[in-house]
Amino acid sequence: MHPVYNISLTRLKEFIRRPEAVFWVYFFPILMVLVLGIAFRNQTQEVFSVDVIEGPHSQMLKQHLDESLQIDATIISLEESRKRLRVGKTTLAISAADATDGRSIEYLLDPKRPGAIEARGIVDDQLQSSMGRNDVFTARQTEFDEPGGTFVDFLVPGLLGIGLMGGGMWGVGFAIVDMRIRKLLKRYMATPMRRSDFLISMILSRLVFMVPQVLLLIVVSYFVFDYRVYGNLLAVGVLVSLGALEFAAIGLVVGARARTLETASGLMNLVMLPMWTLCGAFFSYERFPEMFHPLIKLLPLTPIIDSLRGVMMEGESLFSQWPEIAVMAAWTVIPFVVAMTIFRWRD
């Protein structure tokens, strides 16, 4: 048999015989999407916790606020409310600044805390209406409830990218180092197999592992969270394949010279951990200062996540993702050439 086919088949058998590897590659991303999808699932409306500071008009203020379904009002002392604000147990606190009729309201809040400004607007609107404000027009609200705008829709492409990165780095780089420690590479060196045959087989086996990983995540998201792919599935397959090749090539570089598992683990964490936080897997990287955006977009994980979201969420074409594809191609070719240059069979 050809060395590429033989080594690829061996890798598949070795992978299947390791339950822990199967769990981390296939079931951990599913566990992540289930936990995060349930935690951040869409709710009909958010309810804000509001403290009403004890005083002559606190009961009246609470009665007005209880008329709103979005406000959970509690009468409490000023000292206790400050503690609750500090630890995030309440969104804001209000008190009647005017001791005569309670028509002068004071708000206590941290404007940097998520939801604080929104809660203030809801509380203010509720109190103004309850105390006799006359609106100059009547507003009507129509709810827009269509698939595609949930946190799960944002999360799935990010988890696919995270899975491709972890599978490429650990499934290729870590596997090579493990073979080196077990002296398998020395045995391969004694065969007619070329370095290119061995490295290509490691990448091809990663592509095979990738198929059920992607399908499982999308299928589970569909049945549990009604997830939809709005773009072309063939385009998604092309992008996922490029992402798998990209990180398999980077994994080759990491494992090309590392002699111990500790060294390999350190190098992989050095590569992966910054991308976990910077590349927009769980939240948009646009939250970082704009001056860092060009650098973030050049990291290996960012183009796969951006292109997958463009196709899967927005229904864009594969051709429209050519800038991201170009970055992924560069991260595939250059690391593979480097790995071919520095790879050694033995220590």
The whole-angstrom separation of Cα 112 and Cα 115 is 9
The whole-angstrom separation of Cα 150 and Cα 289 is 25
Domain of residue 92, CATH code = 3.40.1710.10
**Which pLDDT score, from 0 to 100, does residue 308 have?**
92
Question: Do residue 64 and residue 205 come from a single domain?
Answer: no
Question: Do residue 61 and residue 154 come from a single domain?
Answer: no
Residue at 145 is within a domain: no
Residue at 12 is within a domain: yes
CA atoms within 13 A on the CB side of 206: 33
| Of 130, 158, 178, the domain-final residue | 130
Question: Do residue 24 and residue 125 come from a single domain?
Answer: no
The whole-angstrom separation of Cα 40 and Cα 38 is 6
Cβ atoms of 238 and 323 within 8 Å: the answer is no
Residue at 138 is within a domain: no
CA angle 106, 110, 116 (to 5 degrees): 85
**Which pLDDT score, from 0 to 100, does residue 220 have?**
86
Question: Do residue 114 and residue 96 come from a single domain?
Answer: yes
pLDDT, mean of each 10-residue run, the chain (347 residues): 73 73 75 77 73 88 88 90 87 76 78 86 88 76 64 85 84 81 80 79 79 84 84 90 89 82 81 86 85 91 92 88 93 90 74
Dihedral (CA of 34, 36, 39, 45) sign: negative
Question: Do residue 274 and residue 200 come from a single domain?
Answer: yes
Question: Do residue 177 and residue 233 come from a single domain?
Answer: yes
Question: Do residue 236 and residue 326 come from a single domain?
Answer: yes
Question: Do residue 164 and residue 117 come from a single domain?
Answer: no
The whole-angstrom separation of Cα 334 and Cα 183 is 28
Residue at 140 is within a domain: no
Q: Which domain holds residue 237?
A: 3-40+150-342
| Of 76, 97, 130, the domain-final residue | 130
Coil, strand or helix at 94: strand
Residue at 143 is within a domain: no
Question: Do residue 177 and residue 296 come from a single domain?
Answer: yes
Whole-model pTM?
0.72
**Which pLDDT score, from 0 to 100, does residue 194 have?**
81
CA atoms within 13 A on the CB side of 274: 11
Question: Do residue 252 and residue 315 come from a single domain?
Answer: yes
What six digits make up the tokens of 55? 């005083």
Residue at 235 is within a domain: yes
Residue at 54 is within a domain: yes
| Of 72, 95, 130, the domain-final residue | 130
**Which pLDDT score, from 0 to 100, does residue 57 have?**
84
What six digits make up the tokens of 229? 């792919």
The whole-angstrom separation of Cα 347 and Cα 344 is 7
How many domains does the chain contain in total?
2
The whole-angstrom separation of Cα 142 and Cα 144 is 7
Question: Do residue 333 and residue 205 come from a single domain?
Answer: yes
Tokens 């403290």 appear where?
A: 51
Distance set, CA 237 to CA 78, 146, 207, 318 (Å): 57, 25, 11, 10
Residue at 135 is within a domain: no
Question: Do residue 14 and residue 74 come from a single domain?
Answer: no
